[in-house]
A and B are shown apart, each in its own frame.
Chain A
Amino acid sequence: MKEKLIPLHMLSPGSFGRVTQLTARDNSRRRMLDLGFINNTIVEALQKSPSGDPTAYQVRGAVIALRSEEASNILVECFS
């Protein structure tokens, strides 16, 4: 049951996504990989900050907040 591909920042809080592609480059890409955003990783969108950005994500046991600019460079397959 394949679902649509969306950038991570579109993933609504409470839903899960599976990382399929990183479009970030250079240092930013490295940083995302180090934080565990590699292919097939399950990410859960936890909640948005009071003003809607950044958003906190649960990834590999840690909670990481990303601004929408960074999150938009991570494509996930959404399965809520």
Chain B
Amino acid sequence: MFEVKLDSPHDLVIALAGNPNTGKSTVFNSLTGLKQHTGNWPGKTVTNARGKYRHKGRSFVLVDLPGTYSLFASSVEEEVARDFICFGRPHATVVVLDATCLERNLNLALQVIEITEKVVVCVNLMDEAKRKKIKIDLAGLSVKLGVPVIGTNARDGIGLADLKDAVLKVATGEITVEPMRVEYDRNVEKAVEILEPIVKESVNGKINSRWLSLRLFDGDRSLLKSLDHYLDLGFEPDKKERLSDTLASVRDVINLEDIRTKDRLVESIVNLAEDICAETVTYETKQHNALDRKIDSILTSKAFGIPIMLVLLGMVFWITVEGANVPSAMLARGFNYLEEQLTALFMVWDSPVWLHGILVLGIYKTLAWVVSVMLPPMAIFFPLFTLLEDLGYLPRVAFNLDSFFKRACAHGKQVLTMCMGFGCNAAGIIACRIIDSPRERLIAIITNNFVPCNGRFPTLIAIASIFIAYNMGGFKSIGTVLSVLFVIVLGVFLTLAISGILSKTILKGLPSSFTLELPPYRKPQVGRIIVRSIFDRTLFVLGRAVVVAAPVGAVIWLMANVTIGDLSILNHGASFLDPFARLLGLDGFILMAFILGLPANEIVIPILIMSYMSQGAMLELESFESMRQLFVENGWTWLTAVCTMLFVLNHWPCATTLLTIRKETQSLKWTVISFLVPTVTGVIICYTVAQLAYLLGLV
């Protein structure tokens, strides 16, 4: 499990540990240059990413451990982090601490120091501490801890050279570290004295025996399992017996049955952290967090908390809708012009009609659609959302909405996974790892699709603007934004309702324990966000357009133009689906487009356009206006638009998401359920809305 692949035996393996939300991922990225998405919320890094860097002629492999508050293994993340430090045999471990919250962070540093002496402490976010007038005596801290302490601003790359130097020296043994020893109370120390020699004999120097003895008092079962698993100590029966005999004999000294004994072990470390901080940290102002509290008192207040959340989300969509118009139109014109040139070229070559059809009308047109209509809103929405994430706003959203999730017997952090779902549902599914309880994690996974992803909301925006808000004149973009916002609120409502139903039926259970850190607000790195997300998003969407949209474009063109009898394959399919689709307020082509759009939600509308266009005369799709015309000619009413938008929100997850669910749950059953739940919900909702509208004679 912990085989770290090395290019050469001289490579040095460095573990990177730290509390969630300390900028650990930023340190990782700055050191390795690897593009790992970093965010400002607790527990984001859930697997251990690896990256490489070179310093002074040596190669380093950096292993990013999950962000944890402790190593006492009360969650999977903590177990992974502890096991890597214990058994992964890193040449050094870097512990990243948040300078603005040093005391709580030191707890973890002290726990790491107890396990291994090869530690470098990195006090990150020094600029934030300075802004809050918190002074940290780094040299004093280093003397106290007995290991190198380096102050950094990883975001600006400050201090990283020093950090690399210190890591090199500690890893190669160039400087000897003498880490401080955490002292426990007299009885515990006495018991350790008795137990340690026996332990030492058993583990053969493969692991710190003092630390292991302390953990034996803890009765940490997961550690004993890991010991057997990684060290292959071959605990012979006699050794085991001696060990348990000794353990029994220390009972005279400390009462292992008493829950307070274990508490005291933790308390000693926490108190030590407090003492160290008292001597090394000075607050020049008592109110160093006053601004954060003030912002919180507005953003999470009873009166404004939820309204502000909706307004912020609405603003993000408004900027997206307004901002995307111009580049979309420009791209569309450019693509149209290019298409004319391409067509002319095909005419000159006198190439067969089918070749022009597949390449230009199929592949090119689909690509052009995805790029011109989907890309601009994505490229605007994504950085805006990342901005909110970087500011530290998302944990506040989780805080505001938690009580609803508690009522649905689900986990408050589900909100964070939903936020990730806005970007991409597959990413949302992976983010569900931040939820410890397997039951609540499954609920979050199954319901993640009720958040429309980046590939779906441009579709919502397009349909809303050409049907729902079409006649609103000057209020068109407001109308569009409100309709999309309504769909999203509906999605959140459905998430809660379905989570509640799941909790009462196939995933019965009570809410597990819930703690959520509200990290300090941070100054976002605006420039970097914009450059990175536009660049990353653009590449991602373009890549996906080529890999997914282009082949599907070719297939659709063929389906629309190869005829069996006197109907095209597409027509056969659509007319087969039509009666059922009509019940849902859709038509056969729309349902067909959703089915063929399984590989990626971005391509549902281009498929639909192509299907409609293959029916009648070709028309140039230069604007939303001509798209509206095309749809109306094909019998769309406001009801079709509403039902299509509802079906966009509620249908099966895309192929990538399904594969991710399969991987994350390791279960076909839950993958199938994740497919069925949103699909059945969508069918029921569309059916109800359509039938009600027919019944009331609204259409």
Binding site for B on A (CB under 8 A): 22, 24-25, 27-36, 38-39, 41, 46-54, 56, 58-67, 69-70
Contact = CB atoms under 8 A, between A and B. Distances in A.
Given A31-B513, A46-B296, A22 B263 contact: yes
A49 B103 CA distance: 26
A52 to B, nearest CB: 7
Nearest to B513: A28
B104 interface: yes
A51 B513 contact: no
A33 B406 contact: no
26 contacts: A25-B259, A27-B513, A28-B513, A29-B259, A30-B70, A30-B72, A32-B515, A33-B263, A35-B104, A36-B107, A38-B263, A46-B296, A47-B300, A49-B305, A50-B300, A58-B289, A60-B274, A61-B102, A61-B103, A61-B104, A62-B101, A63-B517, A64-B516, A65-B515, A67-B511, A69-B513
Contacts of B263: 22, 29, 33, 38
Contacts of A67: 402, 406, 412, 511, 513-514
Contacts of B49: none
Interface residues of B, number: 44
B267 A38 contact: yes
Interface string B285-306: 0000100110011001110011
A56 B296 contact: yes
A54 B399 contact: yes
A21 B517 CA distance: 22
> What are the nearest 10 A-B pairs in CB distance?
A34-B70, A51-B403, A50-B305, A33-B266, A63-B518, A65-B516, A27-B74, A30-B74, A28-B513, A38-B267
Nearest to B72: A30
Given A33-B270, A36-B104, A49 B300 contact: yes
Interface string B49-91: 0000000000000000000011010110000000000000000
B271 interface: yes
Contacts of B614: none
Contact of B412 (A36, A54, A61): A54
Contacts of A53: 402-403, 406
B69 A50 contact: no
Contact of B516 (A46, A54, A58): A54
Nearest to A54: B402
B302 A50 contact: yes
B515 A56 contact: no
A66 B514 contact: yes
B400 interface: yes
A37 to B, nearest CB: 9
Given A31-B74, A36-B270, A46 B293 contact: yes
Instruction: Please indicate which of the listed interface residues A24, A25, A61 has the most CB atoms of chain B within 10 Å of its own CB.
Output: A61
Contacts of B271: 38
Given A33-B270, A35-B69, A61-B102, A50 B301 contact: yes
A54 B514 contact: yes
B360 to A, nearest CB: 54
Nearest to A26: B74
B404 interface: yes
A62 B107 contact: no
B521 to A, nearest CB: 11
Given A27-B74, A36-B107, A63-B517, A56 B300 contact: yes
Given A30-B72, A54-B403, 4 more contacts: A34-B266, A49-B305, A52-B302, A56-B518
Contacts of B403: 49, 51-54
Contacts of A36: 103-104, 107, 270
A50 B306 contact: yes
Contact of A49 (B104, B259, B399): B399
A5 B669 CA distance: 49
Contacts of B74: 27, 30-31, 34
Contacts of A22: 263
Contact of B103 (A25, A54, A60, A70): A60
Contacts of A31: 69, 74, 513, 515
Contacts of B75: 27
Contacts of A60: 103-104, 270, 274
Given A29-B259, A56-B296, A61-B101, A51 B515 contact: no
A15 to B, nearest CB: 15
Nearest to A50: B305
Interface string B504-522: 0000000101111111100
A70 B515 contact: yes
A66 B402 contact: no
A65 B259 contact: no
A47 B267 contact: no
A41 to B, nearest CB: 8
A50 B266 contact: no
Interface string B404-434: 1010000010000000000000000000000
A33 B267 contact: yes
B261 to A, nearest CB: 13
A20 to B, nearest CB: 13
Nearest to A52: B403
B471 to A, nearest CB: 36
Nearest to A65: B516
Contacts of B517: 62-65
Contacts of A38: 263, 266-267, 270-271
Contacts of B514: 54, 66-67, 69-70
Given A34-B69, A49-B300, A62 B406 contact: no
Contacts of A62: 101, 104, 517
B516 A34 contact: no
Instruction: Please indicate which of the listed interface residues B104, B107, B259 has the most CB atoms of chain A within 10 Å of its own CB.
Output: B104
Contacts of A69: 511, 513-514
Nearest to B412: A54
Contacts of B306: 50
Contacts of B412: 54, 65, 67
A46 B300 CA distance: 11
Contact of B402 (A24, A34, A49): A49
Nearest to A22: B263
B399 A56 contact: yes
Nearest to B68: A34
A33 B75 CA distance: 14
Contacts of B259: 25, 29
Interface in B97-146: 100-104, 107
Contacts of B107: 34, 36
Nearest to B108: A34
Interface string B459-482: 000000000000000000000000
